[in-house]
Chain A
């Protein structure tokens, strides 16, 4: 039999349903790939037994002639930011090491209910704070991709969903969950040549997802292609009364409505995204993307998003502010790490626990957040940033009066070597310069691979749509996918 780990969601689901192979065979194949890929460090915990149990349940249902679900027989990787009952959930932090939830996140439960199984919990940047997967307490994730120069420099899989991007790109999982606060699905997808969708804010419940910046956090699928993302997003999304910002609206059948015919559609090209000193290969890939969408029937129009340059600094006030508040819960009292020196009091216990439990980037952001929210600075920083956020959102609203979807690069560069940007926090933040505006406005956006650069590293193109129009975003993504014919893959060196 051909290698089942070459298959994506749709092929697995349809193959299991047709009886071409069993769900158990699929799970066994991916379990073996996970076990052989420890060099990539994509998983914090592997759960092969959970994958087999879910597969057996699907096979048993099929034997009885029952419905198998939208993800029936598909094993997936679960970003370790989703609470999974009985399975350690750490957010890649020391402070949550050993934390074993007594409950299941809504998104993961939705996926299990749709017939998916869990291969394990995926590594990430600590508390999803990072753009290179170098802030995890459990070590860096290494991208399966390498520069072809023979140096074997370990490359960044992007972040924060770097375990997810690596697992999908290296065929350790046909798909994985991601979360995107300011680019954490799209940037790692672009770095590893896979597809990732951040839906409209509120589409996927945040209940049971470890909180980073609650007004921005949004879960989404990361998979091999647009169709697989459409299927998986359909299984993840849905109204959840346990999340006060959950969208109370029906989940469309995105898979059924996928169409790469863009006749009559207008694609906006935001002129402010063409920044001084833009990487020439990124600019060329963007031009190529325009041609592909024109070929699919769309009209290309120029649009303006005048406050683009302020989006990233506004994000680096808003996100740390919310993080400093959300992460106040880690106090060594209710769960997670407790560091209590002999004779220490309660306040000392808090300070010692948090000093020992948080990594440097997390501390940096908590301190920034605490500062911008502190008395005397709130108006100048936080309030001003929230006003800029309004302007960024209004920019998009005006642009979408002239176009149906926006095309832009996902990232300002291809992947870089682990350690190459370590000493420069702002340089690292700039990775998300094209991704953050859509996050601030809560809009659906995705990254789809469009080719490789002269170093042989993947490049992604980003599509952004108006609120609730995941369909338009994925349709344009499909048009690019069909024309880009992206078949590059990382040469297997890790097993």
Chain B
């Protein structure tokens, strides 16, 4: 199925990627081409097939209910967590004002 410019603009907006008119002009035929190519999957009768949920059967594990059992993924890491933030203030991530 080919998709139109308005649809690509909508998806870009959903994906939070700003796109110029020029970029949209380039993306529309490219995405249409890819989507037309994947359409062939419709040829396969999958009415009795379950969608894959795990590539290697593997039960989810529970970890011990213990605080900071693994120090690498435990708490008390505020400075580490904020170390790469573009704007860290007062121990928080800083963002532009969201409430008028």
- Residues of A bordering B, CB below 8 Å: 99-103, 200-202, 215-216, 241-242, 244-245, 247-248, 307, 309-310, 313-314, 316-317, 324, 331-338, 340, 344-352, 354-355, 358, 363-364, 366-368, 370-371, 374, 380-381, 383-391, 393, 425-426, 440-442, 467
Contact = CB atoms under 8 A, between A and B. Distances in A.
A202 B34 contact: no
Contact of A99 (B53, B55, B84, B96): B84
A317 B33 contact: no
Interface in B41-100: 41-44, 46, 49-56, 58, 60-61, 63, 70, 72-73, 77, 80-81, 83-87, 93, 95-98
Q: Which of B13, B17, B53 has its CB near the most chain A CB atoms (within 10 A)?
A: B17
Given A99-B84, A244-B60, A367-B12, A387 B55 contact: no
A317 B52 contact: no
B6 interface: no
Contacts of A307: 44
Contacts of B84: 99-102, 334-336
Contacts of A316: 34, 37-38
A314 B39 CA distance: 10
A346 B56 contact: no
A387 B34 contact: no
Contact of B17 (A332, A349, A355): A355
Interface residues of chain B: helix, strand, loop or mixed (majority): loop
A102 B86 contact: no
B51 A370 contact: no
Contacts of B30: 364, 425
Nearest to A333: B93
26 contacts: A102-B80, A215-B55, A245-B56, A307-B44, A313-B38, A313-B40, A316-B38, A331-B16, A333-B86, A334-B81, A334-B85, A336-B86, A337-B86, A352-B18, A354-B16, A364-B34, A368-B34, A370-B15, A384-B44, A384-B46, A386-B52, A386-B53, A387-B50, A388-B46, A390-B51, A426-B33
Q: How large is the interface on B (under 10, 10 to 19, 20 to 34, 35 or more residues)?
A: 35 or more
Given A317-B38, A340-B96, A370 B14 contact: yes
Contacts of B38: 313-314, 316-317, 381, 385
A9 to B, nearest CB: 27
A326 to B, nearest CB: 12
Given A100-B83, A384-B42, A201 B55 contact: yes
A210 to B, nearest CB: 13
A103 B79 CA distance: 12
Contacts of B97: 345
B15 A349 contact: no
Closest 4 A/B residue pairs (Cβ) = A386-B51, A442-B55, A338-B86, A335-B84
A354 B77 CA distance: 27
A387 B51 contact: yes
Contact of A389 (B18, B42, B52, B61): B52
Contact of A241 (B19, B35, B41, B70): B70
Contact of B19 (A333, A344, A355): A355
B73 A242 contact: yes
Contact of B44 (A310, A340, A350): A310
A467 B57 CA distance: 11
Q: Which of B33, B73, B84 has its CB near the most chain A CB atoms (within 10 A)?
A: B84
A102 B83 contact: yes
Given A103-B72, A334-B84, A442-B55, A366 B96 contact: no
Contact of A388 (B23, B41, B56, B85): B41
Contacts of A355: 17-19
